[in-house]
Amino acid sequence: MTAEHPGDASGRSAWNQSSPRGIGLVAGTVITGSGSERAIEQVVDKGSWLAERASCVSGNRLLGADGAGPVRTQAREILLPRSAEEIADLVRSLPPDTPVGSVCGGHESSNAAAVASDSAVVLDMARLKSIDFHEESGRKLVTVGGGVVFRELVEAVRVRQGALPVGTGPGVGIVGYVVNGGLSGYFSRRLGLLGQRVTRLTMVTAAGEIRVLTPDDELFTAMLGAGSALGIVCDLTLDMESDSVVRGAEQRVVAFETRAQAVAFAREALRFQRDQVLPDEGMSMELVVAGTKTLVVTIVFYDSFRGSMAEFVAPLEALAARLELPIVASSHFGSWYETAAALWPVINAMKGNPLAMLQHCLGSEGAPTDAILDWVCDTVVAEAPLDEAPLSIVEIRTLGAAVMAMKPIPSGNCRHRFFLDLITHYDAKEKTVAERREIAAMTRSVIEKARGVEGLAVDFSGTHSQPDDPGANVSPSLIFGSEAMVELVRAQKKVVDPGNRFRFHPYAKFL
Ligand SMILES: Cc1cc2nc3c(=O)[nH]c(=O)nc-3n(C[C@H](O)[C@H](O)[C@H](O)COP(=O)(O)OP(=O)(O)OC[C@H]3O[C@@H](n4cnc5c(N)ncnc54)[C@H](O)[C@@H]3O)c2cc1C
């Protein structure tokens, strides 16, 4: 599409369609590895590749004089390997100082790996699509290849009557989610973080060595939250549960006209979340405040919940009635699968040319105080740029429970019971540079104010932070969960990647 601008993504008819069907590819790059020659597909049209593979563009890349133009990948080469052996051969055949990036589902908020640098080789993992079910010592396991995304895994697990703590985005990559500390607002309170369910992992080191890691290896733990800085994951094995762990879910969609109405609903709904949901490990609750002027409440009920799901949400229906806000949709999801797939149509409808995104996360380790809840309502719900960037959402969620009971991994998500994601989304073609700057400034203003709120942590994982925010403080111990985890990760980085070949990840400011 862009002969003059080979790496850009300006003409985005293909933007936001997540699987590479062949655009810009040619077979035949010859890689010399262990004495043999391998042909690895290479991307020739980098602009089409970026448009197709990066789900969105960092809002920070769209602000300056350059930001008015297209976003381009800088990568020297983009290759699509098919196996761990091909990846290992390739890494060994490159000069040892060549930086290497990996792209799985393409949803990382700063596009660090997809944009990379002009000396980098980027590996698009999209050809590693295997999903293999097996049993070991009575446990049901599934091994997924490095290019599998949530929609593919969820559909396959459904057939096996299994359940996993998956995220909401259908195109989010399993490996990209696990190695950066991903969490499931719906399922983690019962099933832990997905990284806590990994039992084995195959990776390639910076020296081009294939390693199969198990929980006995220190590197294994470090990979489950900082893996994008440590190696290239080729596959990982997950411990599944039966789908009977989820009884079902209730969802109510409440419409609002003014932001004051949204604040009033949130103020009481969040106290319900804290007082009725957080103390009970049999459920989770999410309140989404959307730029489409809707409040979406979803309560997921697990196997230990006794009682009527519909009756449990009745106080929230009464709240909407009292505030004279109409309930415009009521849904019951009867299974793990229906709940896991509930948001796919909504997320698929978020399109832009390009779609811009800024992503941040706030949360508390214990139950939130009244002061924190009031601040969330009066500042986040009231001041987030939901009108200026109408595809934006604020997701206010519960965590803790099983996550805290299972073995910690290097993710701040292990420590937080209450959290919210502020996800600023807009279609960049409809905004001038001045408008984009205003949206970014409004987002940052909320985040800066959050840093002053007692008991509130800011950006505590790689999956929900905006690592390219200029000048923002990042706290390694918040992001990896503790000082001990920071030390573990730093020690492993020195051993397995002393030359920092793996430098395109959310932790680049401090690793
Ligand atoms: C619509 C949407 C919904 C989301 N929903 C959730 C959610 O419910 N819960 C949640 O926690 N997060 C969620 N996220 C955030 C998402 O989990 C993170 O952005 C995640 O890191 C994206 O992974 P990816 O594979 O799609 O992206 P990528 O950009 O491909 O990868 C992300 C990072 O992982 C690295 N990486 C990719 N493949 C490999 C590999 N094989 N080996 C080593 N490193 C690799 C990349 O270099 C990059 O640094 C969502 C994001 C979006 C846009």
113 lines ligand 1 (CB under 6 A): yes
146 touches ligand 1 (CB under 6 Å): yes
Residue ranges per structural domain of the chain: 25-127, 131-243+483-496, 245-480
Q: How high is the pLDDT of residue 31? A: 52
Beta strands, E only, 33-98 = 37-43, 57-58, 77-80
DSSP code per residue over 382-440: HHSSTTTSTT-EEEEEE--THHHHSPP-S-GGGG-SEEEEEEEEEEGGGS-HHHHHHHH
Residue 339 has pLDDT above 70, yes or no: yes
- The alpha carbon of 341 and the centre of ligand 1 are apart by a number of angstroms equal to 18
Determine the pLDDT at residue 16: 35
Looking at residue 472, its pLDDT comes to: 78
Asked if 117 contacts 74 with a C-beta cutoff of 8 angstroms, the reply is yes
25-127 has which fold?
Answer: 3.30.43
> Could you confirm whether domain 245-480 is CATH 3.40.50.10790?
no
- Ligand 1 atom with minimal separation from the 171 CA: 26
Q: Is the pLDDT of residue 334 over 80?
A: yes
Question: Which atom of ligand 1 approaches the CA of 53 most closely?
Answer: 30
How confident is residue 29, by pLDDT bands cut at 50, 70 and 90? low
Residue % of the chain over a pLDDT of 90: 89
Q: Does residue 233 have its Cβ closer than 6 Å to ligand 1?
A: yes
pLDDT above 90 for 10: no
87 CB near ligand 1 (under 6 Å): no
Fold of 131-243+483-496: 3.30.465
Task: Determine the atom of ligand 1 nearest the C-alpha atom of 413.
Answer: 11
Please work out whether the CB of residue 228 comes within 6 Å of at least one atom of ligand 1.
yes
pLDDT digits (tens, 9 = 90+) for 273-287: 999 999 999 999 999
Residue 121 sits at the vertex; the CA angle it makes with 80 and 131, to the nearest 5 degrees, is 30
Residue 134's pLDDT is 98
> pLDDT (tens digit, 9 = 90+) per residue, 119-166?
999 999 999 999 999 999 999 999 999 999 999 999 999 999 999 999
pLDDT (mean) for 397-425: 97
How far apart, in Å, are the Cα atoms of 151 and each of 14, 82, 148, 186?
Answer: 19, 20, 9, 16
